[in-house]
Amino acid sequence: MNLRVFRGEDPGGVLWQPRLEFWYRANKARGTLPERYRDASLLDVYDDCRASVRYFTRPLKVRHARVKERTEWLDATHQAHYYETPIGTLREVRAYDDLRLSGARSEYRVKSLDDLRILEYVLQDEEWYWDEGQYQRDLARVGDRGAPQFYPRRTPVQGLFIEHMGFEPTIYALMDNRERIEQYAALAGAADDAMYEVICRCPVPIYNLGENIDANLDPPPIWREHLLPWYRKRTEQLRSAGKFTHIHVDGAMKPILGLMQDCPWDGIEAATPEPQGDVTLEEIKEALGDLVLLDGVPAVYFLPSYPESILMECVERVVEMFHPRLVLGISDEIPPDGDIERVKKVGEMVAALG
């Protein structure tokens, strides 16, 4: 069913594909799984909710010849990660919740333009390869619950924003040292070429550009100049290799809605309508045209603060507006305090649709 949606064929029903991984891990760790799930695996929960699995494998691997990586816990909730190279060391720190399940960077690895040179060394020291053994084990584990797909790393400038440098320092660097940032982006893109060569040869049919787009960080000028050229290059490259692609847009969308069809990808993941997002379902539909919508149901509707009837009405509207170009899901994940019974009811509802 997954691939039929992307091929533009009749999927034979509505594909319900919520992401339950974080909900399951968080509730298992804090001992709050519902009684019937006490001894259940994650796949058991998916089956009980009559749901498909989206992300379950990542056999794309990287190793280094000269760079050494290590991690250490600085205290109960802060973990440092080091990249040790012959020309210097990068350190980043992530701050985690008490269960160590969710974290955010409190210290970026690139703290100055001098650190870019070390990051470039790390990228140039990479060797990408495919772990076929892991891939086959993952396929056997998940079976027919979903088509394999995963997301490579972010494109160069978006990677600086989110992973390496932070948004504000990157913006200042773009204004004050544009040539240096462009030099880095070109080198990082060349490093990505080796990664995409492996991806294009592998058997996975669907790829997500896991960019976490937010129009507040990626407004039209940034989008057009620093992001879109890379998106076009990679989607065209993947399409030539027979792959489908979609991009993860889980933040504000309104300023870039009109740009969603400027790239030859096949779908948009995690587009989030009101009241959680800043756009309506009608605006999303107009912007996507014939592109596949992955998700579409606001995650907040799975919280007890919203009536269940609003959730079910939303599901009906999303199916009516987007099916068959739809992979129905939660934009973008059910929160730990979300009601799993609602996930199951949506599964039963869409199963009844045929």
Please give the structure tokens belonging to residue 249. 């847009």
Cα gap 260→292, rounded to integer Å: 11
* Res. 354 pLDDT band, cuts 50 70 90: confident
Q: Tell me, what's the pLDDT at 178?
A: 98
Cα gap 64→44, rounded to integer Å: 37
Look at the pTM and tell me if it is higher than 0.85: yes
Q: What is the mean pLDDT of the chain?
A: 98
pLDDT average, residue stretch 73-99: 98
Instruction: Number of helices (H) and strands (E) in the chain: give both, helices first.
Output: 13, 13
pLDDT average, residue stretch 182-190: 99
- Looking up residue 25, the CATH number of its domain turns out to be 3.20.20.210
Inter-axis angle of helices 281-288 and 308-322, nearest 10 = 20
The domain boundary, picked from 83, 111, 139, lies at: 111
Residue 323 has pLDDT above 90, yes or no: yes
Residue 48 has pLDDT above 90, yes or no: yes
Residue 103 has pLDDT above 90, yes or no: yes
- Same domain for 132 and 256, yes or no, is yes
Q: Tell me which residue range forms the domain holding 249.
A: 2-65+125-352
- Same domain for 289 and 219, yes or no, is yes
Distances (CA, A) of 178 to 182, 185, 208, 227: 6, 10, 29, 15
Residue 275 half-sphere exposure toward CB, CA atoms < 13 A: 8
The domain boundary, picked from 53, 79, 111, lies at: 111
Could you tell me what percent of the chain has a pLDDT over 90?
99
Which tens digits make up the pLDDT trace of 108-147?
A: 999 999 999 999 999 999 999 999 999 999 999 999 999 9
Q: Tell me, what's the pLDDT at 41?
A: 99
Cα gap 205→265, rounded to integer Å: 13
Tokens 């009559």, located at residue: 50
